[in-house]
Amino acid sequence: MAEIEKIKVYSQTLKRNIKTKEEGTSAFLSETYDRIESSIGTLENCFRNVELAIRWGGRFKFRQNVRGNFQSSNLSNLKGEGDSPLYFRVGGVGELRVTEHTLELDTYTQIFQNKQLFPEAFYLESPLYWKLKSALESIKLDSRSPSGASLNGVPDYFYDMAVALRRRRIEHPFAGIHESLHDAIGGKISLSEAGDLEFQQKDNSIPFSLTSAGVANMGMLALLIERGALERGSFLFIDEPESNLHPAWQVEMAAFLLELARQGVNVVISTHSMTILKWLEVHVKEKPDDRELVRLNKFPPDAEWNDDMDAVMAEVKQSLTKPFSDLYIKGL
């Protein structure tokens, strides 16, 4: 607390000096001083109240993560429905609101004290990011913003997954899926001690940058499993898993993802693939029990939620096939 008192003295000296500056400069310095004074007050309160310190630190880190993952220095760019401010509530966790200038997080202190309450989440990015992994990692430290977020156009969750891949575990829970993925692509993606990615086929190694996007897509999923990053309860997000995949591989990818879901991974995907949707439709007819593993929704996000999977499936298929149907009729 003695050091905080010293900082207060220095800030008061700064305030007296502000009055001697020119008017334009004085306004800027006054605003800066107000921010310093506010930060000192927050710091002092945190030293006096451990629970407050935990909550404040958690909120600061959360704001930093939002900026880094959405790559936005201006939180007001994050919108909810229409132009309304972003807001969502997570049961048992708290509420999140993005106002014009800041992000407000109301949650419970024990959430920050026990990180084990939250399973790890991974967003499997485009293969292009992984082909440029070394270059992107080299520029990360040169692009730190004053808020602490890395604003270089590459979302922080890419770097988080790269770090997770370095933490190799002796065992991983999805050996069967991992081996099947290797069989599908005819090899495996390996990660060297230096952090370089390679595609290995028997006695031959190919730089990851030279592999096809399809191999990279499925290979990175296999690597995520092999390194033990994915576990039961984890969240896996993939935007359009069909990207760069032959239709036959789309079917295999869909089967792998459903098997991960069966074994306890929370898999969330967005897709425009009729192949994946048709495979899913056929699969749940053949294995009705697996219907409980699937929730299907159609965007836009303002559409009403419908728990009737068959009805949603029919609507989605009609929407996806309409451009082809229109062209077919036009060509008759």
Which stretch, 33-37, 71-75, 96-100, 255-259, has highest mean pLDDT?
255-259
Q: Name the band, by pLDDT with cuts 50, 70 and 90, for residue 76.
A: confident
Q: Are 263 and 230 in contact, with CB atoms under 8 Å apart?
A: no
- Residue 6 confidence (pLDDT): 57
- Residue 72 confidence (pLDDT): 80
Q: Name the band, by pLDDT with cuts 50, 70 and 90, for residue 103.
A: low
Q: Are 66 and 147 in contact, with CB atoms under 8 Å apart?
A: no
Beta bridge partners of 103: 98
End-to-end CA distance of the chain: 83
pLDDT at residue 226 tops 70: yes
Pairing, β 197-201 against β 188-191: antiparallel
Nearest to 75 by CA among 99, 57, 94: 99
The conformational region for residue 244 under phi > 0 = left, psi -120 to 50 = alpha, else beta, is left
User: Taking each helix axis from N to C terminus, what angle separates 274-286 and 309-331, rounded to the nearest 10 degrees?
Assistant: 140
- Residue 238 confidence (pLDDT): 96
The percentage of residues in the chain with a pLDDT greater than 70, rounded to a whole number, is: 77
134-142 long-range Cβ contacts below 8 angstroms, 24+ apart = 134/195, 134/196, 137/162, 137/195
Question: Cβ–Cβ contacts within 10 Å for residue 245, how many?
Answer: 23
Q: Are 181 and 211 in contact, with CB atoms under 8 Å apart?
A: no
Assigned token pair, 304: 């009403």
| CA-to-CA dists, residue 100 to 11, 104, 153, angstroms | 28, 11, 22
Beta bridge partners of 269: 238
| CA-to-CA dists, residue 52 to 57, 110, 114, 151, angstroms | 8, 12, 15, 29
Q: Name the band, by pLDDT with cuts 50, 70 and 90, for residue 75.
A: confident
User: Which amino acid belongs to residue 216?
Assistant: A
How confident is the model over 4-30, as a mean pLDDT?
A: 61
Backbone angles phi, psi at 144, to 5 degrees: -75, 130
User: Which amino acid belongs to residue 314?
Assistant: A
Q: Are 332 and 111 in contact, with CB atoms under 8 Å apart?
A: no
pLDDT one-digit tens code per residue, 262-307: 999 999 999 999 999 999 999 999 999 999 999 998 876 556 777 8
CA 115 to CA 150: how far, in whole Å? 23
Higher pLDDT, 228 or 46: 228
Which spans in 71-198 are helix H? 109-113, 127-131, 133-140, 156-166, 175-185
Question: Domain residue spans in the chain?
Answer: 1-48
